């Protein structure tokens, strides 16, 4: 990996390079995505079946688009029993973590006759998109579905592309069953997002769409936002490691590579105060690359978005991490908890050498659907609140409104909204006589 002494100019260049990976910079595909959405919106199932045959090489019709219980049973027979049990343990951890996020409606009555509150309710229908083929990730099924189920969503549907044989990845089906999906449909790509956003004869319209996908899926979610809610427009995976001279270079290298293998656009960055560690990590990366299966992808990722950055202090390291606002941030220092207090922007923070990033991907419980491309500055991990909606409750007695009505009228009149003022004024006309 390239080793760079960090300067302000280099930091600016690195940040610009990283942001170029955002789906916001793939406008050349937007017209194709818009055409798919328009066709699905106008032609419904007819368009869905046509696109499934065109893109997935799989004939599809109304009788076969929904996954059956028999297919789920077959999936259980195809998946190793030990893996099924691992998924169940992971699901239990995810459920336990997200149950702590639940909030209740609240009401605040006052003696003067005012009642203010917030009614908190789950959305009615959630839609989860799951990639298929080589990009099938049962862990993402658990992470997207379980928070919705914990929130109390009544109906959870899932779409995922079929193989040429019309089958869905068995691990995906087992994970969906464990997580509590109600309906699974064999459709992928931008057309699946459009179907969930607008509804077809076969696929119901949902209130929110979550889940990862390729650039066409990301752009379709972006285009449908407003007609339906979405989680985020996710970019390629990222890991940032801050390490000092106490870190184990073999651990650091292994953790960087764990994200670089995702995608040629994935980013893996080490920030360190130790030149010796920097060189050791680079050497370990080279050694690991000789035996890792996804070597070609990793090498391209590191070539374009891999860095080892040398800084003068951990304070500078934290400042740089806050500027990058990485999806995953590992702190491998003598006192990671002290350093954590300086971190403002990160999707998930992993503290200490036994808290490597894959722990969060698969098992610990916190959600692995995280903000990318610097959006950790203002976005949060997927959570139970994402599947809840809140309604304000307002109740004033006549006595309470009488004390406030002149203030409200004053406000409305100063904004030039006389009908607003009149709506309050008419309730006290007899008082003015």
Q: Which residues participate in catalysis according to the annotation?
A: 327-328
Q: What sections of 200-309 are H helices per DSSP?
A: 215-224, 249-260, 275-289, 295-305
DSSP secondary structure letters along 14-47:
HHHHHHTTSGGG-GGGHHHHHHHHHHHHHHTHHH
Structure tokens at 8: 């302000």
Distance CA 92, CA 89 (A): 5
Q: Is 104 exposed, middle or buried (0-12, 13-18, 19+ CB in 10 A)?
A: exposed
* Span between the terminal Cα atoms of the chain, in Å: 83
3-state DSSP of 44-109? CHHHHHHHHHHHHCCCCCCCCCECCHHHHHHHHHHCCHHHHHHHHHHHHHHHHHHHCCCCCCEEEE
Helix (H) or strand (E) holding 8: helix 8-19
Phi then psi dihedrals of residue 281, to 5 deg: -65, -45
d(CA 289, CA 145): 35
Structure tokens given for 138:
């049962």
């Amino acid at each position: 990996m390239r080793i760079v002494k960090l300067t302000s100019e280099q930091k600016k260049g690195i940040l610009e390079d990283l942001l170029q990976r955002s789906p916001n910079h793939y406008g050349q595909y937007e017209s194709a995505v818009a055409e798919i959405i328009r066709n699905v919106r106008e032609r419904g199932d007819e368009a869905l079946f046509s696109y499934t045959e065109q893109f997935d090489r799989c004939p599809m019709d109304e009788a076969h688009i929904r996954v059956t219980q028999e297919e789920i049973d077959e999936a259980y027979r195809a998946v190793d029993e030990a893996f099924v049990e691992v998924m169940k343990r992971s699901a239990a951890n995810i459920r336990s973590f997200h149950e702590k996020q639940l909030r209740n409606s609240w009401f605040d009555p006052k003696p003067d006759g005012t009642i203010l509150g917030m009614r908190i309710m789950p959305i009615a229908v959630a839609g989860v998109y799951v990639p298929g083929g080589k990009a099938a990730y049962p862990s993402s099924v658990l992470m997207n579905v379980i928070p919705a189920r914990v929130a109390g969503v009544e109906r959870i549907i899932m779409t995922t592309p079929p193989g040429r044989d019309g089958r869905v990845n068995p691990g995906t089906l087992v994970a969906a069953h464990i997580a509590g999906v109600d309906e699974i449909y064999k459709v992928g790509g931008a057309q699946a997002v459009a179907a969930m956003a607008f509804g077809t004869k076969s696929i119901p319209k949902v209130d929110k769409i979550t889940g990862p996908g390729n650039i066409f899926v990301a752009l379709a979610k972006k285009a449908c936002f407003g007609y339906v809610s979405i989680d985020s427009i996710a970019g390629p995976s990222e890991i940032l490691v801050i390490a000092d001279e106490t870190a184990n270079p073999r651990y650091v290298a292994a953790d960087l590579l764990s994200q670089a293998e995702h995608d040629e656009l994935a980013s893996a960055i080490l920030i360190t105060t130790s030149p010796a560690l920097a060189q050791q990590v680079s050497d370990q990366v080279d050694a690991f690359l000789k035996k890792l299966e996804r070597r070609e992808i990793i090498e391209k990722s590191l070539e374009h978005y891999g860095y080892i950055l040398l800084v003068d202090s951990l304070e500078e390291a934290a400042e740089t991490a806050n500027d990058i606002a990485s999806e995953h941030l590992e702190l491998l220092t003598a006192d990671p908890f002290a350093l954590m207090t300086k971190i403002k922007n990160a999707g998930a923070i992993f503290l200490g050498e036994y808290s490597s990033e894959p722990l969060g991907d698969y098992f610990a419980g916190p959600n692995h659907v995280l903000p990318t491309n610097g959006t950790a500055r203002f976005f949060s991990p997927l959570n139970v609140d994402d599947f809840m909606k809140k309604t304000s409750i307002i109740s004033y007695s006549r006595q309470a409104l009488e004390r406030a009505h002149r203030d409200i009228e004053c406000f409305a009149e100063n904004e030039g909204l006389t009908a607003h003022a009149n709506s309050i004024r008419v309730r006290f006309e007899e008082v003015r006589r």
